[in-house]
Amino acid sequence: MGDRDLSMGPREGVTYPLKVQYCGNCSMPIEYCEYYPEYDKCKQWLEKNLPTEFEKVKIDEEENAGGEEEKKRQKRGGKGMLKSKKKEDVPKLVQVSRAPRGKKKSVTVVSGLSTFDIDLKVAAKFFGTKFACGSSVTGDDEIVIQGDVKDDLFDIIPEKWPEIDEDSIEDLGDQKR
């Protein structure tokens, strides 16, 4: 049952690609040229050396261009240029609260520092070194500091960032996270 004569050629009903053609510019198969950063040079090479393939590419582009703007391709790197959100007129207010963590332990939550254009990662690092504890950025505008350091923050925040005065720091008391 397993003995098949391989010299018979292709099986009936199965089509095989004739030959993969490679681009002389980017050295990739022609169907992948559009993902190459210098796609215009690939198109020029195709037009000059393989005009029939260039016509196919041109027809495909015309079909895809129907009502769609030019594709914005990512050049290199992670998420590219992230668009910053427009800031609404949010009141400039820093809120400090304490949340329980386990039975006897607690964390201090600071929010609202980004309304003063303060980098949250830098602030978290500062709080961690100042209080010799763990501190991290969670959420959009929230820093969690391990331990109950709420009372110390009323003095330290205006000292570190003079644009924040003591009146713009609000104590929310104990809260659930």
Total domains in the fold of the chain: 2
Sorted by sequence, the CB contacts under 8 Å of residue 168 that are 6+ apart come out as 92, 93, 94
pLDDT tens readout for residues 98-155: 999 888 899 999 998 888 888 889 999 999 999 999 999 988 889 999 999 988 888 8
pLDDT tens readout for residues 69-102: 555 565 666 655 555 555 556 678 888 999 998 8
The domain in which residue 127 lies consists of: 94-174
Using alpha carbons only, give the angle 159, 143, 82 rounded to the nearest 5 degrees.
105
For residue 113, being part of any structural domain is answered with yes
**Domain CATH number, residue 159:** 3.30.780.10
Question: Which is higher by pLDDT, 54 or 144?
Answer: 144
Q: Are residues 109 and 165 in the same domain?
A: yes
Q: Which helix (H) or strand (E) holds 95?
A: strand 94-101
Q: Are residues 44 and 102 in the same domain?
A: no
For residue 153, being part of any structural domain is answered with yes
For residue 136, being part of any structural domain is answered with yes
For residue 119, being part of any structural domain is answered with yes
